[in-house]
């Protein structure tokens, strides 16, 4: 199946010279300052029930540059400053659409230091990238080649908390054709096993944060002993950030390899719509859930399925996948988390996670057959009831449950 062109970002690490690092640091500071000034102006207007759009903040930027106090804004490229205003506009659009909360001010310590350059503010020739206000190209480590003939449309430069510099080049690319696959798999995520598949396979959770927890604890204790504002505290903070960066890098690498394998081997993938944001509010599970990074796993599956022409089905979060017997459809009355294996009244013995994956696959295929949407039902009980009504006809011809047994109306035999 041929894939269509998509926008892809290629991220590389680079090592700036002292002059380049100073220029980029100034740009980061100016971008943050302009964003905060524009947000303050829009917030003040919002309190008067007025709206300020991007064009008005752009005019404000021109006036700020003319003032004596903010004249330093003219010393850096104007493109990243304009881009920060566009990002603020996008944040307000999301807020008005009730998708996100009200935009927040950027902090020098807690916010990501980054600047975005469009075509007019960089030059890419013969594998060398030169940004505006710079004479020498960036010393980029080209860990992988850009697509042949690709021309970057946007360049984003960033510096993480560990002091590492990265550049991300947005290009139009056609993903390589994925070999055809006819399989379908249900995926149940967990803590002990990161994923359990409907095929019976389990992938162990590497628990990267737990493995580096002693090292992280030592670095954090050392940080707590340093005086506020001292240079030693800055060094200790970077050590803590390097441990976090190591954990994050290893976790992303593992998830990339796992999701690529799942997408390569299966045409249809079915997952649950889990509310990870609510799960991490449980103080007993928050650390383990965050270490598993289920949200990032789902995000990778979504864009890779879109790239390679695979089908990703997301079933409703309230579907009782663990309690439902995949053999007869009976729902277990109570199934605590510490019960990993259970036996149904029909005589079938189930591994909790594998059984859940089988039920997820059956529910996802039922959704496809019955013509329901692939996105989960998120809003009203009426929409959830309509989804159940659409799936229910798939059970026609199935024998009625035995007396006293409860059968989920969503269940379809695998």
Which phi-psi region, left, alpha or beta, contains residue 329 (left: φ > 0; alpha: ψ -120 to 50)? Answer: left
SS3 84: helix
160 among known catalytic residues:
no
Catalytic residue among 209, 291, 353, 372: 353
Q: What is the pLDDT of residue 344?
A: 80
Q: What is the pLDDT of residue 319?
A: 82
212 among known catalytic residues:
no
Catalytic residue among 23, 209, 272, 372: 272
Give the DSSP H or E segment for 16: none
Please measure the distance between the N-terminal and C-terminal CA atoms of the chain and give it in whole angstroms: 27
Alpha helices by DSSP H, listed for 266-348, are 276-279, 286-292, 294-308
Q: What is the pLDDT of residue 179?
A: 82
Cα distance between residue 99 and residue 95, in whole Å: 6
Cα distance between residue 114 and residue 154, in whole Å: 13
Cα distance between residue 8 and residue 172, in whole Å: 6
Q: In the chain, helix, strand, coil percent, each to 5? A: 45, 20, 40
Cα distance between residue 270 and residue 410, in whole Å: 15
CB count in 10 Å sphere of residue 124: 17
Q: What is the pLDDT of residue 371?
A: 54
- Are 116 and 169 in contact, with CB atoms under 8 Å apart? no
Give the DSSP H or E segment for 87: helix 78-96
Nearest to 127 by CA among 155, 159, 158, 151: 151
What stretches of 119-224 adopt beta strand conformation (E)? 122-125, 128-131, 140-141, 154-159, 165-173, 184-189, 193-197, 202-204
pTM: 0.80
Q: pLDDT tens digits for the chain (414 residues)?
A: 556 788 999 999 999 999 999 999 999 999 999 999 999 999 999 888 888 899 999 999 999 999 999 999 999 999 999 999 999 999 999 999 999 999 999 998 887 899 999 999 999 998 899 999 999 999 999 999 898 888 999 999 999 999 999 999 999 988 888 888 888 999 999 888 999 998 989 999 999 999 999 999 999 999 999 999 899 999 999 999 999 999 999 999 999 999 999 999 999 999 988 888 888 888 888 898 899 999 999 999 999 998 888 999 998 888 888 888 888 877 877 777 777 887 787 878 888 888 889 888 888 888 776 655 444 434 433 333 433 333 333 333 333 344 444 444 444 444
Catalytic residue among 23, 116, 173, 188: 188
188 among known catalytic residues:
yes
- Are 89 and 2 in contact, with CB atoms under 8 Å apart? no
SS3 229: coil
Angle CA 122–125–126, to nearest 5:
150
- Are 172 and 19 in contact, with CB atoms under 8 Å apart? no
Lookup: tokens for 163: 């002091």
């Amino acid at each position: 199946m041929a894939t269509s062109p998509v926008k892809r970002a290629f991220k590389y690490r680079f090592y700036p010279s002292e002059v380049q690092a100073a220029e980029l640091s100034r740009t980061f500071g100016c971008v943050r300052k302009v964003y905060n000034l524009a947000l303050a102006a829009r917030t003040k207007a919002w309190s008067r029930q007025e709206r300020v759009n991007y064009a008005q903040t752009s005019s404000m930027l021109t006036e700020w540059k003319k003032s004596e106090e903010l004249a330093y804004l003219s010393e850096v490229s104007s493109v990243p400053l304009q881009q920060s205003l566009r990002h603020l506009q996008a944040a307000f659009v999301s807020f008005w659409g009730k998708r996100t909360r009200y935009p927040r001010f950027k902090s020098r310590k807690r916010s990501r230091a980054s600047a975005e350059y469009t075509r007019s503010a960089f030059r890419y020739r013969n594998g060398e990238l030169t940004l505006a206000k710079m004479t020498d190209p960036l010393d980029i480590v080209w860990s992988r080649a850009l697509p042949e003939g690709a021309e970057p449309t946007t360049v984003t430069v960033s510096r993480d908390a560990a002091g590492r510099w990265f550049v991300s080049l947005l290009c139009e690319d056609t993903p390589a054709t994925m070999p055809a696959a006819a399989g379908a798999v249900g995926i149940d995520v967990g803590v002990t096993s990161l994923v359990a598949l409907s095929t019976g396979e389990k992938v162990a959770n590497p628990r990267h944060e737990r493995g580096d927890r002693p090292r992280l604890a030592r670095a954090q204790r050392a940080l707590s002993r340093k005086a506020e504002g001292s240079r030693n505290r800055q060094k200790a903070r970077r050590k803590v950030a390097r441990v976090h960066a190591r954990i994050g890098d290893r976790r992303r690498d593992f998830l990339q390899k796992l999701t690529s394998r799942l997408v390569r081997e299966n045409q249809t993938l079915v997952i649950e719509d889990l509310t990870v944001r609510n799960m991490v509010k449980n103080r007993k599970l928050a650390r383990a859930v965050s270490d598993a990074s289920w949200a990032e796993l789902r995000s990778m599956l979504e864009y890779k399925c879109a790239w390679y022409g695979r089908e990703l089905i997301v079933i409703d979060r309230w579907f009782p996948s663990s309690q439902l017997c995949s053999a007869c459809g009976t729902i277990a009355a109570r199934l605590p988390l510490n019960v990993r294996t259970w036996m149904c009244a029909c005589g079938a013995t189930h591994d909790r996670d594998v059984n859940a994956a089988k039920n997820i696959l059956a529910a996802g295929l039922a959704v496809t057959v019955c013509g329901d949407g692939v996105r989960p039902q998120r809003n009203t009980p009426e929409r959830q009831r309509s989804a159940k009504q659409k799936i229910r006809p798939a059970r026609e011809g199935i024998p009625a449950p035995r007396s006293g047994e409860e059968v989920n109306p969503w269940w379809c035999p695998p």
